[in-house]
Amino acid sequence: MCGIVGYVGQRQAADILIEGLRRLEYRGYDSAGVAVYGNSGISIRKKVGRVKELAHLLSQQPVSGTLGIGHTRWATHGGITDANSHPHAGGNGEVVIVHNGVIENYAVLKERLQSLGFVFHSTTDTEVVAHLIAHHYQEQIALGGDPEDKATALGAVQAAIKCLKGTYGLGILFREHPALMIAARSGSPLVVGVGRGEYFLASDASPLAGYTSEVVYLADNELVLLTPDGIDLLHRDHGQTTPSIQVLDQTEAESDLGSFEHYMLKEIFEQPATLENALRGRLDDDAATAKFGGLNLEVHQLRRIDRLVLTACGTSWHSALVGEFLIEEFARLPVEVEYASEFRYRNPPLSESTMVFAITQSGETADTLAALRESQRKGHPTLAICNVVGSTIAREADGGIFLHAGPEVGVASTKAFTSQVAVLALLALYMGRLRHLSYTAGKRIINHLRAMPDVIQKTLDCDAAVREVAEKYFHADNFLYLGRGYNYPVALEGALKLKEISYIHAEGYPAAEMKHGPIALVDEDTPSVFVIPHGNMYPKIMSNLEEVKARKGPVIAIACEADQHIASVADDVICIPSVEDYLQPLVATIPLQLLAYHIAVLRGCNVDRPRNLAKSVTVE
Ligand code: G6P
């Protein structure tokens, strides 16, 4: 995991690095550090805690120079300590690096380096890489290489990365090279920002917005040399290659907090607009279907598809579950939902006519990327439903659908979920209309979808009521979330939101399954959140609700405004607008996002940066 930044040019590097790290904090915030090349060589400042604490350290112990690298860490190997924070120096300080990824063979390499006399100051896998590069650098010099020659530095990096197993995005400085940074990528994303007389390095494009709009995305096994005079791009095995410069479509303003206290709240309230964006230009009234610009498959190929696999992680996996129900109902196509982390190592039987969709907000989740590649390796058309344009998955997929939800900063995903569900509903409509779904049914779905942004706007009115419920229950240690049919994934998502940001144990379950285990957890102190809007499953789930009440469990019901009965059985009711069954996940998720938010605030938790989590999980 972790976030990397780098700068070489004419400006003071530290300011740019700190701003970049702030924007990358979503990738990890256990510790942060920078290394800047100044008059007295490379100075390192690093510290456990958030980037703002590093900024404070820099205000007391400033570093000056126009070349530097920085890092924000999500700990994998080695505890959360100052010593384990990046950057790490190698050898006798000849090399300083930052690293995102996991070096799987670090233990063997460490033993070898220790036997050669290298002394370790941390318990990270990264320090192994730093010493390994230093070792090869020293070796090249011993063989007559000029330490100040770029080729010597590059040769050392090339020799070192040949020994690495695992994943890495690396930013590297050399003591003998006051104007050179080398970066290398395998498995962990890196992007180079191209300016005038200045170049930037980052794990994704967000730190570059406002500095440059021209970027080069590094492909796996590429290395790049950055100096104020330009960049040299190389492939590990094929040598020099021509960089493909792309224009960045991102503005700084999009990530502003505005008048909201937290990004999560801002993003919850953005959902009417983000849904509108997900639907924009995709409703085809004449043909009563959906239209997509980027599936990159001909209609006759899509008609041949007889099965879909949706693979994802976390919240995106929950939207995939909703997608399964939607696609099976409207397109009558069998759908399998797979955790990407499992799919990548399983060998499920997939026929030639199976289409695989990777669903991901960030487009960088390591397991989802590996699942996509595994599916492509086997020759399946592999598409993505993704939010971040320019992300690795967006670039590597054979085609796909963007969410257009704008940057999602809060670690707990909210607006991406509803956008994914909306896009999956469009996909179900589209695949359905290529098969048995009638014109009239297609028209009806279009009309329902078109109304959703307004419905979601109305749903947000429940905020004050949700806040009251949160005040009543925020001390609870356990919660159950229960739903059926389309609302079963909603229950899972509601429980996940609460766990993620308030650290309360919560279980999401299909309501009827509750009696096979979770009902044993019901007591007077364990609230059960029932997602029980009007619809096909209403009478069934009402029986489940009564079962909880009979055992004195407090019940919070997410129910339709028109429900006259619910207040007499539930302890608390949060009202939502009534919509068709298949659109209930879009509506019913909103109060659950808000409930998690308010409970977390009341418990004094860090809503946008919950402990141990990261927005983008770029390690497996
Ligand atoms: C992390 C985030 C979750 C997210 C999951 C999948 O765990 O904290 O909010 O749902 O990754 O991320 P993706 O970007 O692939 O949707």
pLDDT tens digits for range 69-78: 999 998 888 8
CB-CB neighbours of 281 under 10 Å: 10
365 Cβ closer than 6 Å to some ligand 1 atom: yes
Q: One-letter amino acid identity for 21?
A: L
Under DSSP, is residue 312 helix (H, G, I), strand (E, B) or coil? strand
Tell me how far apart the alpha carbons of residues 140 and 135 are, in angstroms, rounded to a whole number: 9
**Angstrom distance (rounded) from CA 417 to CA 529:** 19
Active site annotation includes 162: no
Q: Is 515 helix (H, G, I), strand (E, B) or coil?
A: helix
Q: Is the CB of 163 under 6 A from ligand 1?
A: no
- Report the alpha-carbon distance of residue 67 to residue 198 in Å, rounded: 10
Binned at pLDDT 50, 70 and 90, residue 253 comes out as very low
Average pLDDT over residues 249-272: 81
Say if residue 250's pLDDT is above 60: no
Show the tokens assigned to 76.
């994998």
Catalytic residue among 2, 386, 560, 605: 2
With a 6 A CB cut-off, is 387 part of the ligand 1 pocket? Answer: no
What confidence score (pLDDT) does residue 205 get?
Answer: 87
Rounded to an integer, the average pLDDT of 184-204 is 94
Which of 46, 415, 499, 615 is labelled catalytic? 615
Ligand 1 geometric centre to CA of 163 (Å)? 31
Quick one: pLDDT band at residue 581, thresholds 50, 70, 90?
very high
- Could you tell me the distance, in angstroms and rounded to a whole number, from the CA of residue 591 to the centre of ligand 1? 20
For ligand 1, atom 4, name the residue with the nearest CA: 314
CB–CB of 243/216 below 8 Å? yes
Q: Which of 187-196, 454-463, 537-546 has the highest mean pLDDT?
A: 454-463
Please give the distance, rounded to the nearest whole angstrom, from the Cα atom of residue 618 to the centre of ligand 1.
10
Closest CA to 432 of 280, 322, 302: 302
Q: How far apart are CA 104 and CA 125, in angstroms?
A: 8
- pLDDT surpasses 70 at 335: yes
3-state secondary structure (DSSP) of residue 495: helix
Pocket test for ligand 1, best of 29, 343, 616 (most atoms within 8 A of CB): 616
Q: How far is the CA of 364 from the centre of ligand 1 (A)?
A: 9
Tokens standing for residue 300? 């006759």
DSSP 219: P
**β 191-194/199-202 pair status:** antiparallel
User: 363: CA distance to ligand 1 center in Å?
Assistant: 9
Going by pLDDT thresholds of 50, 70 and 90, the confidence category of residue 251 is: low
Give yes or no: 560 in active site.
no
Around Cβ 389, how many Cβ atoms within 10 Å? Answer: 16
Model confidence at 255, pLDDT cuts 50, 70, 90, reads low
Averaged pLDDT, 456-466: 98
CB 493 within 8 A of CB 592: yes
Query: What are the distances in angstroms from CA 447 to CA 37, 289, 336?
Result: 60, 11, 28
pTM of the predicted structure, to 2 decimals: 0.83
Q: Tokens 């998502």 appear where?
A: 493
d(CA 81, CA 123): 10
Give the model's confidence band at 252: pLDDT under 50 very low, under 70 low, under 90 confident, else very high.
very low
DSSP state of 40: T
Judge if the beta carbon of residue 615 lies within 6 A of ligand 1. yes
CA-388 nearest atom, ligand 1? 14
The residue whose CA is least distant from atom 2 of ligand 1 is: 615
Closest-lying ligand 1 atom to the alpha carbon of residue 613: 8
41 and 69 Cβ atoms separated by less than 8 Å: no
